[in-house]
Amino acid sequence: MIEFTMPSLGADMDEGTLDQWLIKPGDKVTRGQVVAVVETAKAAVEVECWQEGTVGELLVPVGETVQVGTPLATLLEPGERAQKPSGRRPHKPQPAARGAAKPTTTPAAPAPPVGAPPAAPGHRRWVSPAARRLAEHLKVDLDAVAGTGPQGAVTINDVEHAAAATPPPAPAAKAPAGKTAAERAAERGAQMRQAIAAAMSRSKREIPHYYLADEIVLESALSWLTTRNAERSIDERILPAVLLLKAVGVAAQRFPEFNGFWRDDGFQPATGVHVGVGISLRGGGLVAPAIHDVPDKKVTELMDDLTDLVARARAGSLRSSEMSDPTITVTNLGDQGVDTVFGVIYPPQVALVGFGRPARRVRVIDEGIRIVSTVQATLAADHRASDGHRGALFLTAINELLGQPDLLEK
């Protein structure tokens, strides 16, 4: 039997809320199939399953928030027979029945005859009726409240503490069903802010960044694009951003110490190059989902991928692999008008390449003064994984690739 668990959709994700099941017991699941929609702090994400089998049991109901790693469903491997449902429900371990263990003032006193049975492993979260009502009234998210009552139940006291800890206008709460779209969006915005705060704090706390910058002359790249785009219809035209992505991807393949993860005090190079694309969202905040296997894709494919990715990121329907897979990130603030961006690495990645605004600038080229289009490329890299010397070569490689756009077309 295979357990399908809540995936980690990024370093900043501890838990997710199951929004929708797209499978039911008995369904056949193929590798890569989208089986569920999970809501994280950042977005509603379509979660893929990477194993084949038949769905046995769905263990987590829609609307429930569970920790990363919690089994969500069981899959039967081909040939395996269905067992009867285990009835098991994954959950955070509940504290044992406290009434029985609590020391009483008189040692001779036997355990009190509490009416409720001892905490069974498979019950729904225990919230006292009064606490539930109060939470609704105070708009406190019960999933975020730790229970300190009998047998770990959430009590009035717990809700009041949670309410006091949460400033009313900035609910840290997840969106339970029944809220308006605007409320859900506002809550998600607040959560995203927190998620970004957590990831970026970790980055600046743990990662010794070093920064390099290089000016890239885009003349050949842009004229190449102009020529190519002239042959295409408007909606097939390639944006310069795609060439930049491709150049970073190809360069990262050549310089593997910028493509991977710093984990457990060591660098783990990634097997493929999946470039995370920083996408700012209309409601505020950003996500950096991956375009997979960038060096192996044609620029036309990358253009399609980018268009699709941006649309889905803004619609809040990304896939789990896109959230969890980036091996290096590209951020492009050119549209916002800045010349240069010094990025913050998204842990556990080890490098981030930034591009500023491409502009016509006066430069000395071939001993002559010329007006050319240039862009400021920067590299923020993890000094634990690489050194400035290699970083400089990496940036230079991107520069050179953009000078030979034919190499990028494939």
Contact between 128 and other proteins (CB under 8 A)?
A: yes
Residue 130 buriedness (CB in 10 A; 0-12 / 13-18 / 19+): exposed
130/392 with CB nearer other proteins: 130
Contact flag: residue 105 with other proteins (CB under 8 A): yes
Q: How many residues sit close enough to other proteins to count as binding (CB under 8 A)?
A: 33
Is 100 an interacting residue with respect to other proteins (CB under 8 A)? Answer: yes
Strands 368-382, 351-355: pairing is antiparallel
Candidates 113, 168, 178, 337: give the one binding other proteins (CB under 8 A): 113
Contact between 129 and other proteins by CB under 8 A: the answer reads: yes
Among 48, 51, 63, 98, binds other proteins (CB under 8 A): 98
238 within 8 A of 229, measured Cβ to Cβ:
yes
Where helices occur in 207-298 by DSSP H, the ranges are 219-230, 240-254
Interface pick for other proteins out of 79, 87, 93, 115 (rule CB under 8 A): 115
Q: Which residue, 93 or 129, has its beta carbon nearer to other proteins?
A: 129
Sole residue written with tokens 């289009």? 373
Residue 254 CA to residue 248 CA, distance in Å, equals: 10
As a whole number of Å, the CA-based R_g of the chain is 26
Taking the complex as a whole, how short is the minimal distance between the CB of residue 147 and other proteins, in angstroms?
8
Give me the amino acid identity at 179: K
Exposed e or buried b per residue across 267-283, where buried means at least 16 C-beta atoms within 10 angstroms of its C-beta: beebeebbbbbbbbbee
Q: Pick from 84, 93, 106, 364: which binds other proteins (CB under 8 A)?
A: 106
Q: What are the DSSP E strand ranges found in 77-208?
A: none
Least distance to other proteins, CB of residue 120, Å: 14
Span from 97-105, 167-175, 234-242, 307-315 in contact with other proteins (CB under 8 A)? 97-105
Q: Which two tokens stand for residue 200?
A: 């970026």
Stretch that binds other proteins, among 54-62, 102-110, 363-371, 372-380 (CB under 8 A): 102-110
* Least distance (Å) between residue 8 CB and other proteins: 30
Please report how close the Cβ of residue 141 comes to other proteins at its closest, in angstroms.
18
Q: Is 31 helix (H, G, I), strand (E, B) or coil?
A: coil
What residues make contact with other proteins under the rule CB under 8 A?
Answer: 98-100, 102, 104-106, 108-116, 128-133, 147-153, 155-157, 161
